[in-house]
Amino acid sequence: MMPGAWKQSHDVEGRFNTLVPRLGEGPLFAIADARVLELHPHVRKALSRPNVTLVALRAGEAAKSLRTLELLTRRALALPRKLTVLAVGGGTIGDVATVFAHTFKRGVGRLVHVPTTLLAAVDSSVGGKGALNVAGAKNVLGVFHAADEAWLCREVFTTLSEAQLREGRLEAWKMVVTLDARRWVQWRVKLPNDAEVIRVSRALKNALVDSDPYETKGLRAALNFGHTFGHVIESLSGYRVRHGEAVGLGMLYALDLGVRQGVTPQALAADLERVLPVKRARLTQWLAPKYRARAQALLAADKKSGWVLLKSPGHVSMLPFGTAA
């Protein structure tokens, strides 16, 4: 099988140091969030082995760059292609590690994700996508490269702030409202604990990606709900608005557009807005006329062909760009 060919994520739970021996004695290239190494010394300790090359990166959108890809490649130059890449971090570390795993010597032997943010656990470490930002435009270079395993190490989530947890929950709400009408009804009454939020979100995303692993059938569109304007906000803010919050604001924008277009029922929009942990006031500033031209340019650079609108719980529809203001 081609390295990185689509397969559903094989999830393993446990403390990080108890899982490392699963990787064996072969060459291991570990790409880790420097902050996670500081906060969780047992992670660094478990990686202090002769067969491990550890590269610590500062997380954030700046890490998703060609510069980082070059740095990783230089550090790995003498290593063989048949290499295990271990990505320990949030979505930005996971994205750049995925691009590295796909491109280093035309594809490494094995890729293992260890998501350390709730957002990465519910979303970015499932589905096989990795991407880099170029010239301020988000995710414009990217690959499909499915991970061989994902490790869910609950102890690392204990150092996440409330704001970081909210970002993960926003992506989880996106998954449930667009893909699972039954769960939407249940979650509206009471959001389950984070372990269940992770389990459900990963299962929903795995199943959806399985039906369209390389995005050739348009079936993955639901995953982009809130992302079109979300990416615009991220870029306009110079990435000061973080991805999870930007997606939350993007969902509000998509709800407004959906209601205006007669696609999204008003009551559904109000219900979703009520449960989303994001403030509408934070959206208004990005709609100011001074941002309009740049927003249009960013939309033109967007890979997506249109807006993802919510039709009913579990169902989305597309509105091509240019159809609506």
Residues that bind ligand NAD (CB under 6 A): 33, 35-36, 39, 59-61, 64, 89-93, 95, 116-117, 119-120, 123-124, 127, 129-130, 139, 156, 159-160, 164, 167, 243-244
Q: In this structure, what are the phi and psi dihedrals at residue 296, rounded to the nearest 5 degrees? A: -60, -40
Give dist(CA 311, CA 169) in Å, integer: 21
DSSP state of 276: S
Pick between residue 183 and residue 231 the one whose CB is nearest to ligand NAD: 231
Dihedral over Cα of 251, 252, 256, 262: its sign: positive
Q: How many CA atoms lie within 13 A of 105 on its CB side?
A: 14
Pick between residue 66 and residue 288 the one whose CB is nearest to ligand NAD: 66
Q: Tell me the closest approach of the beta carbon of residue 8 to ligand NAD, in angstroms.
A: 14
Check if the beta carbon of residue 76 is closer than 8 Å to that of residue 53. yes
Pick between residue 143 and residue 255 the one whose CB is nearest to ligand NAD: 143
Tokens, residue 179: 């893909």
Give dist(CA 147, CA 199) in Å, integer: 17
Q: Tell me the closest approach of the beta carbon of residue 17 to ligand NAD, in angstroms.
A: 15
Q: Tell me the closest approach of the beta carbon of residue 77 to ligand NAD, in angstroms.
A: 25
Pick between residue 83 and residue 119 the one whose CB is nearest to ligand NAD: 119
Q: Tell me the closest approach of the beta carbon of residue 265 to ligand NAD, in angstroms.
A: 27
Q: Tell me the closest approach of the beta carbon of residue 10 to ligand NAD, in angstroms.
A: 17
Return the residue nearest ligand NAD (CB atom): 91
User: What are the beta bridge partners of residue 318?
Assistant: 308
Pick between residue 88 and residue 259 the one whose CB is nearest to ligand NAD: 88
Pick between residue 241 and residue 268 the one whose CB is nearest to ligand NAD: 241
Return the closest-CA partner of residue 117 out of 134, 100, 133, 94: 94
Pick between residue 93 and residue 112 the one whose CB is nearest to ligand NAD: 93
Tokens, residue 290: 């001074």
Pick between residue 95 and residue 180 the one whose CB is nearest to ligand NAD: 95
Q: Tell me the closest approach of the beta carbon of residue 259 to ligand NAD, in angstroms.
A: 25
Tokens, residue 207: 């199943």
Rg (CA), the chain: 19
Q: Tell me the closest approach of the beta carbon of residue 280 to ligand NAD, in angstroms.
A: 21
Q: Tell me the closest approach of the beta carbon of residue 139 to ligand NAD, in angstroms.
A: 6
Task: Please list, residue by residue across 106-127, b when 16 or more beta carbons sit within 10 angstroms of its beta carbon and e when fewer do.
Answer: ebbbbbbbbbbbbbbbbbbbbb
User: What are the beta bridge partners of residue 137?
Assistant: 134
Give dist(CA 148, CA 281) in Å, integer: 41
Where are the strands (E) in 50-206, listed by range?
52-57, 84-89, 110-115, 129-134, 137-144, 149-152
Q: Tell me the closest approach of the beta carbon of residue 218 to ligand NAD, in angstroms.
A: 17
Give dist(CA 192, CA 11) in Å, integer: 20
Pick between residue 117 and residue 264 the one whose CB is nearest to ligand NAD: 117
